[in-house]
Structure 1
Amino acid sequence: MGPGKRCLLTAAVTVACAVTVLAAPGTAFASPTPTPTASPSASPTVPPLPPDKDLEKVREKLDDLYHDAAVATDEYNAAEEKADKQSAQIVELAKKIVEGQKRLDRLKDRAGAAARAQYRTGGLPDEAQLMLSDDPEQFLDGAGRVLQGQRATKGLIAELTRTQADLKQYAKDAAAQWDKLEANRRAKAAAKKKIKKQIAAAEELEGRLEKKEKEKLARLEQQAALKAQTAWLDTGILKEVKGEASEQDKKAVEFATNQIGKPYVWGAEGPDSYDCSGLTSQAWANAGRPIPRTSQEQWKQLKHVDVKDMRPGDLIIYFDDASHVAMYVGDGAIIHAPRPGRTVTLAGAGTMPILGVVRPDA
């Protein structure tokens, strides 16, 4: 067997094995349900409390830490989504390689059978045997068979060539997908490390506060949210928002409403916990309209609508980097999965800086 054939066969076997690995439960590529806690060995850089324990500054710092964790969560989810697609492509390529190798083996068997038949006739080709025939009628009958045989031989050679070329291309494509998959595994690992670091820093910062300070901090958060919502409502925006929900909108809103009270877990897509885009993507999948997994891709790929034209079921994207998403449910309210330590909840649509609105069923 030549070096080229050996490489091709090795690639086919390697990728074929991937079918079993990638399809098995519990592999590195399965959708995770990670726990947002830092490992004992983690040593996040925790910002010191302000000298006077200014809780407003603590609140702002916590917002920054959880925002950075949300950005990293989007990176993690994006890498996971790509890895899932690449895993599926590798499985399909592996199947094609296995089938192609079987077809190639069958073609080789046919070619071998033809060679053995020629050997049994003394090595003379069909044309020569016909020319040596003394029977004119047999000669004429045989001429048609020779022509058919030539065509069959050419077809066999062409099919062999095509099959070999296909196998080489499948192996090349599979190798490329493995490289991409490995790159996304590294991206996931880096994002996961960053998420844990930011969450651990936030939790340690909160852990330094006494009970009364935590209660005051909670009140400050509520006041900040109320102030932002009031300012948004004071623009008179709700007087313009009169969009009516479609049937799919209603299904998505119903699903999101039923998740209220479930905990936020980064990277989670339900059914027991969610991150922000996990909630919105699953709500719309339940409504029969699959949408991108991450808030950033939802912002990029879904149709943009003006805030005044939004309706229940639309998604509101927050912050300049599109790092958070919520579902608008009407009357100036949203349902969203806020951050670690919180649960899926009802909130004011204007409590965070709005980047824009997208419509999944446009």
Structure 2
Amino acid sequence: MGSGKRGLIASAVIVVCAVTALAAPGTAFAAPTPTPTPSPGASSASPRTPVSNKDLEEVRQRLEKLYHAAAVATDEYNAAEEAAQKQSAEIVELAKRIVKGQERLAELRKRAGAAAAAQYRAGGLPDEAKLMLSDDPQEFLDGAGRVLQGERATKGLLGEMTRTQQDLEQYAKDASAQWQKLEAGRKAKAAAQKKIEKQIKAAEQLESQLEKEERERLAELEEEAAYQAQTAWLDSGILKDLDTKASEQGRKAVEYATAQLGKPYEWGAEGPKTYDCSGLTSQAWASAGSGIPRTSQEQWKQLKRIDVADMRPGDLILYNDDASHVALYIGDGAIIHAPRPGRTVTVAGAGSMPILGVVRPDA
């Protein structure tokens, strides 16, 4: 094995190992666990003024904005992660092609060298002299034909060597481009992670400043807001003519999502122990035999859109103007979704959040 070949294989192995380290699952999904801020009332001897419902409503709206921002950043993180996996796979494939191309080039050079040596040994007198001195002119002519064939074969080898070298150069350029994209994606993922951690930490600190009774009242306000939104949605008559019959794949997706009820939300997670919103929907449909985009925004962009009045169990409902949240419709005006940090996979009203639209993975 030549030194060039050993060097190329070593480089390919380094590329594969580096990609494997970057793409290793589970290494970047751990959600932050900030130290909770002590409640002001717990450290003060003087009684604290109770928080009014108006103040709590402001807190609820502030929390909603913080968790929405975290959801948007989570989609950015998941998109960067998905792109990184594709780019890593392409780099590995290109590394394999480079190794195979180098082996092919070495083989072609060896054959070309052997052909050149054979032609050198057959050299000497001019063809006219060889014909005059030959006892068998036909044998000379047959030999000359073989030499001509050899020359053509040598030219063919040289042409293939050139093409193989060009392929290797292109593979190297492609690998370099993919590596640059991978590095840019890594930076984007790190930036998104910082955004997520910042928003979640701010939300947790805000909640930690409330007394136990106030947190309970805050939860009641959240439930009341969701109930009012759901009631208004149902009162619109949306379910009156709704087709509630699921497709076979839709039924399997609903079964999968139902089995995940009670599992914690974790940003960037795709199960089996924790999920974020699009992690749950993508895995539910993967279990039904249909691969769909990983992020809620790509699910909205790429999957077939369905009128809300035509949705059926298994369809995905996208929420907010930026498609930052997604849930699985299960029929009778209900959804299963992974809401946000601090919550678990749960059943909720399909109209409890502002609906952007509906998509159907098996359309």
Same fold (TM over 0.5): yes
* Corresponding position of 1:29: 23
Which ranges of structure 2 fall in alignment gaps of 5 or more residues?
A: 36-48
Q: Distance in 2 between matches of 1:86 and 1:13?
A: 20
Counterpart position of 1:47: none
Residues 105 and 164 in structure 2, CA contact (< 8 A), matched pair in contact too: yes
SS for the counterpart of 1:326 is: strand
Check conservation: 2:276, 2:338, Cα contact below 8 A.
yes
What is the letter of the counterpart of residue 223 of structure 2?
Q
8 Å CA contact retained: 1:133, 1:139 = no
SS at match of 1:36: coil
Which residue of structure 1 aligns with residue 95 of structure 2?
Answer: 94
Distance in 1 of aligned mates of 2:10 and 2:23? 20
Q: Distance in 2 between matches of 1:88 and 1:75?
A: 20
Identity %: 67
Residue pairs, 1:184-203, within 5 angstroms: 184-203=185-204
Summarize the Cα distance change of 1:167–1:129 in structure 2 as closer, same or farther, 3 Å threshold: farther
Asked whether 1:20 is paired with 2:17, we answer yes
Mapped to 2, the partners of 1:290 and 1:221 lie a distance apart of 34
- How many residue pairs match? The answer is 344
Is the 1:36–1:199 contact (alpha carbons within 8 Å) kept by the matching residues of 2? no
Deviation at 1:133, TM superposition (A): 5.3
The alpha carbon displacement at 1:242 in A equals 1.4
How many Å apart are 1:111 and its aligned residue?
1.5
Cα distance change of structure 1 residues 126 and 14 upon mapping to structure 2, 3 Å threshold: farther
Aligned CA-pair RMSD: 2.4
**Cα 1:302/1:126, change in 2 over 3 Å:** farther
How far apart are residue 114 of structure 1 and its match? Answer: 2.1
In 1, the alpha carbon distance for the partners of 2:325 and 2:189 equals 19
- C-alpha deviation, 1:147, in angstroms: 2.9
Q: How does 1:1-362 map to 2 (within 5 A)?
A: 13-23=10-20, 27-32=21-26, 34-38=29-33, 54-121=55-122, 123-124=123-124, 131=131, 134=134, 135-362=136-363
Alpha-carbon contact 1:130-1:143 (below 8 Å) kept = no
CA-to-aligned-CA distance 1:202-241 (integer Å, 9 cap, x gap): 0010000000001100111110110000000000000021
Runs of 4+ in structure 1 off by over 3 angstroms are 8-16, 50-53, 118-121, 123-133
Farther off after superposition, 145-154 or 127-136: 127-136
Aligned residue type for 1:188: K
After superposition, the Cα gap between the structure-2 partners of 1:133 and 1:209, relative to the gap in structure 1 and judged at 3 Å, is farther
Structure 1 residues 337-357: Cα deviation after superposition (integer angstroms, max 9, x where no partner): 000000000000000000000
CA distance in 2, matches of 1:16, 1:249: 43
| 8 Å contact from structure 1 (residues 11, 171) kept in 2 | no
Alignment partners' CA distance in 1, 2:125 and 2:283: 67
Query: Quick one: distance in 2 between partners of 1:66 and 1:244?
Result: 34
Q: Deviations over 1:66-113 (max 9, x none)?
A: 000000000000000000000000000000000000000111111122
Q: 1:186 to 1:111 in 2, by over 3 A?
A: same
Q: Report the Cα offset of residue 29 of structure 1.
A: 1.8
Query: In the aligned structure 1, how far is the partner of 2:316 from the partner of 2:93?
Result: 34
Change (3 A) 1:114 1:214: same
Residues 267, 273 of structure 1: alpha-carbon distance in 2 compared, 3 angstrom cutoff:
same
| SS of corresponding position for 2:312 | coil
Q: 1:12, 1:171 within 8 Å by CA — same for their partners in 2?
A: no
Distance 1:108 1:348, change over 3 A: same
Q: Say if 1:39 and 1:213 are closer, same or farther in 2 by CA, change over 3 A.
A: closer
Query: What is the letter of the counterpart of residue 17 of structure 2?
Result: T
Instruction: Give 5+ residue unaligned stretches, structure 1.
Output: 1-5, 41-49
Partner Cα distance (2:354, 2:139) in 1: 91
TM-score w.r.t. length of structure 2 = 0.89
SS in 1 for 2:273: coil
Preserved CA contact (<8 Å) 2:131 2:137:
no
